[in-house]
Amino acid sequence: MIEQDLRDRIIAEPETILEDRDLMAALIGANERAMGSNIVDLRGIAMERLENRLDRLEDTHRTVIAAAYENLAGTNQVHRAILQMLDPLSFEDFLKNLSTDVAATLRVDCIRLVLESVQDAEDPALRKLGEVLFVAEPGFVGEYLSGGRNVPLRPVTLRQTIPSSDMIYGDSAGWIRSEALLKLDFGKGRLPGMLVLGAEDPHQFKPTHGTDLLAFFAGVFERTMRRWLS
């Protein structure tokens, strides 16, 4: 027999039982056992299927909400980085800002700006701009993006990698495990460039990730660079 105080609480608040899924499942199971093994309770089967479908819907809902929050956070992150990128008043400060504030906001461990040029990379005027700037010979960007393969070049390439040399990353090459490569177009008559975002986390940049925000960032970066190159 049910204790009187428990019985009184159930009668006073029956909705507490209806809202407890485990308790309802136990009651339905007890009812099925009471009916015997030669009776099939189609209503119970239908309820079980509806519960499974509800579980899947709830999982999907949580996934969609999480993705929406992640996308919003990513958008805010890129917007903050763009505002920081527009602050410097000299090209030298612009490059320094990339490796400090912008890199921290984008949560990357290394940023490199690759510019193709016929000018000697050992020129003292270029070397004093710091390690963020890497000057390469014409054709380097396409070769690096394609990996030597005959494939179309995308505006944004995400990949997991272990750098084969320290040409771009310098001393950081030993721990870079993924990278985002943003192909840059500086306008008619100018050689292309590339913004390299390197990360120690091998899962930070993967080919399956979306690239819309990085493509937007690259577009703003191109227009900012045209101002410095003019």
Strands (E), 16-144: 110-116, 133-136
Structure tokens at 38: 């030669």
Residue 138 falls inside a structural domain: yes
- The Cα–Cα gap between 111 and 108 comes to 7
Residue 123 falls inside a structural domain: yes
Residue 148: left if φ>0, alpha if ψ -120 to 50, beta else—which one?
Answer: left
Kindly give the residue spans of alpha helices, DSSP state H, lying in 113-210: 124-127, 140-146
Residue 74 falls inside a structural domain: no
Residue 204 falls inside a structural domain: yes
Residue 148 falls inside a structural domain: yes
Residue 162 falls inside a structural domain: yes
Residue 198: left if φ>0, alpha if ψ -120 to 50, beta else—which one?
Answer: beta
Given a contact cutoff of 8 angstroms between Cβ atoms, the answer to whether 149 and 159 are in contact is: no
Q: pTM for the complete prediction?
A: 0.69
Q: What are phi and psi of 82, to 5 degrees?
A: -65, -45
- The Cα–Cα gap between 127 and 120 comes to 10
CATH code (residue 182): 3.30.450.40
Secondary structure tally for the chain: helices H, strands E: 9, 5
- Using a 10 angstrom Cβ sphere, with 0-12 exposed, 13-18 middle and 19 or more buried, the burial of residue 167 is middle
Return per-residue pLDDT of the chain as tens, 230 residues.
678 787 788 778 877 777 777 777 777 777 666 666 666 566 666 777 777 787 788 888 787 776 677 777 788 889 999 999 988 888 889 899 998 999 999 999 999 999 988 765 555 555 556 688 888 889 999 999 988 787 788 899 999 988 888 888 888 888 999 999 999 998 888 899 999 999 999 999 999 888 899 999 999 999 998 888 87
Number of compact structural domains in the chain: 1
Contacts 24+ apart (CB under 8 A), 88-93: 91/129, 91/228, 92/128, 92/129, 92/130
Instruction: Tell me the residue range of the domain where 159 lies.
Output: 90-229
Residue 129 falls inside a structural domain: yes
> What's the longest Cα–Cα distance across the chain?
94
β-bridge partners, 157 = 181
Residue 27 falls inside a structural domain: no
